[in-house]
Structure formats: structure tokens, C-alpha cells
Amino acid sequence: MKYLSTRDKEKSVSAAEAIAQGLSDEGGLFLPESIPLLEQAELESLLKMHYRDRAVFIMGKFLDEFSKEELLSFVKQAYSENYDDESIAPTHFLNDSTGFLELWHGPTCAFKDMALQMLPLLLTASLKKIGEQRKVCILVATSGDTGKAALEGFADVSGTSIVVFYPRDGVSDVQKLQMTTQRGENVLVCAVEGNFDDTQTGVKEIFGDKDFAEKLNEKSIFLSSANSINWGRLLPQIVYYFSSYCDYVNSGRIKMGDEIDFCVPTGNFGDILAGWYAKKMGLPIRRLICASNSNNVLTDFIKTGVYDRNRKFFTTISPSMDILVSSNLERLLFMLSDDSAVKGWMEELKTTGKYEVGEKVLSAIAADFDCGFATDEEAKLCIKKVFDTEGYLMDTHTADAFVVLEKLRREKGETFPTVIVSTASPYKFCDSVLESLGQKSDLSGAKLINALEEASGTKAPLPLCGLDGKRPRFSDCIAKEDMSKAVFNFLS
Ligand SMILES: *Cc1c(COP(=O)(O)O)cnc(C)c1O
């Protein structure tokens, strides 16, 4: 299967090239030239499989230059004892029409692990396949969860190094502690003054800097991305939509072929886009519900067709969704518009911060997506209500999605079977979750974890308990302008 770029249809690269490169030269995102369609019998064959085999099957559809043996060895490394649940991505049912797809049983307790335990394997294998001799340096801008998950995936992987930048004003205490205590000889973690968009812009500028690339090339190093713009990150995420659907059928609550909705807490649009791919591959999904927090650019866009990032930026209790420019939306727009409009819209976004898609794209979006947003207040009330009435503890991002789902259900007067994609362990956002439960949250770091265990009567995931007493290895905070210098010094 060939891959093309959202800004150059004539481009044609292999999966290995797309994964190795991350972003296309002209700034576009890679995507497969066509979407493989699953037959009913194939879908049924997934029912009896373990998550690992479902992953081999689904990913194999897009990776014909990787053998089945290769993929089997990848899933064995990416999805096994490093997860604290044998089924890897279990769906927890609140009742017959509402399930939570728990994507946080991996080493960093957030859904990013689903992709980032796999990406280093796909990437190093891809580099071999294309005969790349240079070393790769992974450059990451993170709003919190990507950074730790990427560090955990790439730590001490030979032939790679990794640099993670996070916004000083915009990650939780636990997230910061997770990153600054990262082990590994090939890792650098650094705070940047400003918010996530500043950090992401800084990283994009480094990627676009030809002189910088040449300087690194002289050292036989090149840059690649572990952000969700890399196809190698999107692909593993398609799997869990299939897996959760199968688990829904296996639970006896729906029949094979029945449609369900997925409700997805959304930031960069990577998670929900993977769901859209699953739908187009033939998984019986009626609608994907795009849930935002107060940074509701996507809600407005899906409703009106106008994408406008010129608005107040909110720092919320769901920081991984505090995003005004959702990179992966570009892939959806490319798939839904039959001309080369995308390039123009992205130009407009860069220069004016705004673009408008036509009626045709807007109605195509409306056919596949619903949307809504939740305020911090609503999310907190929801965490308390669901804990008090159902004994189920959600994190703040998952709560945003639940709020949006409940609003839509009220509006439409229906209760359609829905899986809420649960993207983080509540223990990653202890302070906000504690506050929601009406408890004191002014403790710091590991103490918060103990407090939440007491307040909720649940156990913290092991990797987070281990943070207690660990010393941070990284403490630098730099200005955006100094980011490339920091990368260069680290690699020198
Ligand atoms: C990254 C993240 C999201 C948003 O996912 P996108 O793919 O960026 O839309 C939601 N919740 C949590 C906990 C995350 O880490």
C-alpha cells in the first residue's frame, strides 16, 4: 500500500518511508492512498482473538511490507506484561448502553501508550527497511501525556534519542514528575515558557528549519516525530475501536452488525480520527462524538464549518485537550474534499488563524460526527456523580466526554449504545479528581496519589506509586527561542 501527503497527492511513499519520515517535506501529513474494507467474516474472526492478534490483523491491512511474524513480535513487546490488565484495553460497562474503553492500563497510565509502545518498534524496523544509516532523534511537544509515553517507549532504544518539550504552564504535578524522573541515557526533558501551542509551534519551527537539519545531518542525525502527526501513531489506535466493538458483542449486549457510537475526548484529533478510519473500514459505528473542553474550537468547527483559532485559550483541568490547532484534522479534511483545498486552508490557518470549509465537507462531517464541549465545573460534578452513584472513578478527560454524551442524549431523547473512550487513569490528574470528590487537593506529587487512594477506596496503578521519593533528573525551563539550541547541545 502506498502513502500520499495531504498537501501533495502525487507523492507516493511506502509505509516504512511514511513512518520513518513522520511529516512530509512540504509540511503535509502522510496517509494511506485507500482504506481497506473488512468483510463481515473477517470482523467475526476478530471476536475470538486476543487484543494482540486483533492488532496484528488490523495493522497488517495497512502494512503489507511487514511480515506477519514481524507484527507478531511487535505486539508481543508492545502489549504484554507492561500492561496491568491481561486484556490490554478492556471495556468496562456501566450499563447495557454505556461502556468505558479503558486505554490507560499501560506503563504511563494514559491512552498514548497504546500507540507509543508500538511506534518505536515500527520506526526502528522502518529505518532498517529503507536502509537508513543515520541515527534518529525524536522531537516531541507534549501537553503532558504524549511526552511521558514517548519517553517510556524510546528510552534506551538503540539508534534513537528523544527530546521532550512540555509547557511550563499546562501539565499536572503527576505528569511533570513522571517526565522529569524519566530513566534512560538517550533522553532529554525540558520545560518551555508558555502554553502547549507555544511549545508545539516551537517544535514545528525546528522541524521546518533546513539549516538546522543540515547541521544535524553532518553529525549523521535526523529528526523525526512521535506526535500524532506520524502515521505510525495513528495506526495502532485504529485497533482498539475494533477490539472494543468485539468486546461489546462478546458481552452479549449487542449483536454483531449492530451500530454503536463512540464518544472521544479530543485534543489533537488523533484518537477520534483513528475511530473514523475504523468506521470507514466497515466497523459498525453510527457516529463519533467529538468531545472538547472549554477550548471548543472543534465544536464550533463541526457545527459551522468555520475553524477559528483566534479566541481565548483556557488552561483547564483536562490539559491534554487544551489545544487550539488540532493537527490531525488535516487528514480528515483531505479525505473529505476532492480537490487540493486543504493546502489553502492550512495556509489561511497559518496567516489568519482561520478558514472555512464548504457545504460539501461540512455535510460529510455531519454524517460521521456529533460534537459538544464540557466546562471544568460540569466535568467535576460528573466525576462526583458517577463515583457516588456507580462507584466508578473517571479522570477529567473521560469526564468531559461523559458530560458531552449526557447532553446529547438529553437533547435527542435517546440512549444509543455508546462506548466512551477513557483516555487516562484518574490517578494522573489526582488534584482535580480529588477536588471533584470534595477533598483537599493542595498536596503535592506522590502525596496526592495516597490521598486519592484513601478518598476513593481504589488502588493507584503501580507505575504511579513508584514515583514516590524519586528525584527529578531534569529541571531546565527555557524560552521558546532557545529550543533548537537545547536540542543541538543535547545531541553534541
Ligand atoms: C492526548 C489525550 C487526549 C486527546 O487525544 P487526541 O488524539 O490528541 O485528540 C485526551 N485525553 C488524554 C488523557 C490524552 O492524553
CATH code (residue 354): 3.40.50.1100
Q: The cell 495531504 sits on which residue?
A: 6
Helix (H) or strand (E) segment spanning residue 478 = strand 477-478
CA 432 to centroid of ligand 1, rounded, Å: 17
CA–CA gap between residue 387 and residue 435 (Å, rounded): 13
Angle of helix 329-336 relative to helix 270-280, nearest 10 degrees, comes to 30
For residue 356, what is the enclosing H or E element? Answer: strand 354-356
Q: Which of 172, 271, 402, 428 gets mutated to test ligand 1 (max ligand atoms within 8 A of its CB)? A: 271
- Pairing, β 135-141 against β 285-292: unpaired
pLDDT string in tens for the chain (492-residue length): 999 999 988 899 999 999 998 888 888 999 999 999 999 999 999 999 999 999 999 999 999 999 999 999 999 999 999 999 999 999 999 999 999 999 999 999 999 999 999 999 999 999 999 999 999 999 999 877 889 999 999 999 989 999 999 999 878 788 898 999 999 999 999 999 998 888 988 998 998 899 999 999 999 999 988 878 899 999 999 999 999 999 999 999 999 999 999 999 999 999 999 999 999 999 999 999 999 999 999 999 999 999 999 999 998 999 889 989 898 999 999 999 966 799 999 999 999 999 999 999 999 999 999 999 999 999 999 999 999 999 999 999 999 999 999 999 999 999 999 999 999 999 999 999 999 999 977 787 778 899 999 999 999 999 888 887 788 999 999 999 999 999 999 999
State the Cα–Cα distance between residues 127 and 77, nearest whole angstrom: 18
Q: Using the mean position of ligand 1's atoms as its centre, give its distance from the Cα of residue 385 in Å.
A: 23
Taking the centre of ligand 1 as the mean of its atom positions, its distance from the CA of residue 424, in whole angstroms, is 9
pLDDT of 440 reads: 79
Q: By residue range, what is the domain housing residue 411? A: 88-106+232-427
Three-state SS string across 155-205, please?
CCCCCEEEEEEEECCCCCHHHHHHHHCCCCCCEEEEEECCCHHHHHHHHHH
Residue 420: inside a domain = yes
When divided into structural domains, the chain yields a total of 1
Q: Give the residue whose CA is nearest to atom 8 of ligand 1.
A: 268
Strands 260-265 and 418-422: parallel
Is the C-beta atom of 150 inside 6 A of ligand 1?
A: no
Q: Is 270 in the pocket of ligand 1 (CB under 6 A)?
A: yes
- Whole-number pLDDT of residue 23: 84
- CA separation (Å) from 488 to 154, 212, 215, 265, 294? 19, 9, 9, 35, 36
Distance 294 CA to ligand 1 centre (A): 15
397 lines ligand 1 (CB under 6 A): yes
Alpha-carbon distance of 214 to 212, in angstroms, equals 5
d(CA 133, CA 43): 40
Please check whether residue 213 lies inside any domain of the structure: no
- Write the residue with the smallest CA distance to atom 14 of ligand 1: 320
Determine if ligand 1 sits within 6 Å of the CB of residue 109.
Answer: no
pLDDT at 6: 94
> Is residue 375, in this structure, part of any structural domain at all?
yes
CB distance 112 to ligand 1 below 6 Å: yes
| Nearest CA among 244, 135, 150, 252 for reference residue 203 | 150
pLDDT score of 170: 79
- Within a domain: 352: yes
Buried residues in 355-379 as b, exposed as e (16+ CB within 10 A) = bebeeebbebbeebbbbbbbbbebb
Question: Rounded CA gap, 189 and 191, in Å?
Answer: 7
Residue 144 CA to ligand 1 center (angstroms) comes to 9
* pLDDT (0 to 100) of residue 338: 66
The answer to whether position 59 is within a domain reads no
User: From the CA atom positions of the chain, what is the Rg in Å?
Assistant: 21
Q: What's the confidence (pLDDT) of residue 265?
A: 98
Does ligand 1 have an atom closer than 6 angstroms to the CB of 291?
A: no
- Note whether residue 376 is domain-resident: yes
Decide: 58 in ligand 1 pocket, CB within 6 A. no
Question: How much is the pLDDT for 443?
Answer: 81
Which of 105, 230, 268 has the most ligand 1 atoms within 8 A of CB, as the residue to mutate?
268
Do 179 and 147 contact (CB within 8 A), yes or no? yes
Q: Which residues are paired to 190 by β-bridges?
A: 165
In this prediction, residue 339 carries a pLDDT of 63
Is 262 a domain residue? yes
> Can you tell me the distance from the alpha carbon of 32 to that of 231, in angstroms, rounded to the nearest whole number?
9
3-state SS class at 223: strand
The reported pLDDT for the residue numbered 416 is: 98
Q: How far is the CA of 428 from the centre of ligand 1 (A)?
A: 13
Region for 419 from its dihedrals, namely left if φ exceeds 0, alpha if ψ lies in -120 to 50, beta otherwise: beta
Strand partners, 95: 98
185 CA to centre of ligand 1 in angstroms: 27
Beta strand 354-356 pairing with 306-308: antiparallel
**Index of the ligand 1 atom closest to the CA of residue 266:** 9
Q: Which residue has the cell 512540504?
A: 26
Q: Does residue 148 carry a catalytic annotation?
A: no
Give domain status of residue 244, yes or no: yes
DSSP H/E element including 261: strand 260-265
Residues 20 and 490: their CA atoms lie apart, in Å, by 22
Q: What is the dihedral of CA 116, 122, 127, 131, to 10 degrees?
A: 180
CB of 83 closer than 8 Å to CB of 39: no
Cβ 266 under 6 angstroms from ligand 1: yes
Atom from ligand 1 closest to the CA of residue 398: 11
* Ligand 1 lined by 226 (C-beta under 6 Å): no
The region that residue 288 occupies, defined by phi over 0 for left and psi between -120 and 50 for alpha, beta otherwise, is beta
Residue 472: predicted pLDDT: 93
Q: Tell me the C-alpha to C-alpha distance, in Å, between residue 133 and each of 23, 65, 219.
A: 19, 20, 12
Among 11, 112, 148, 428, the active-site one is 112
235/195 Cα distance (integer angstroms): 28
CB neighbour burial string for 389-420, b if at least 16 within 10 angstroms, e if fewer: eeebbbbbbbbbbbbbbbbbeeeeeeebbbbb
pLDDT at 286: 98
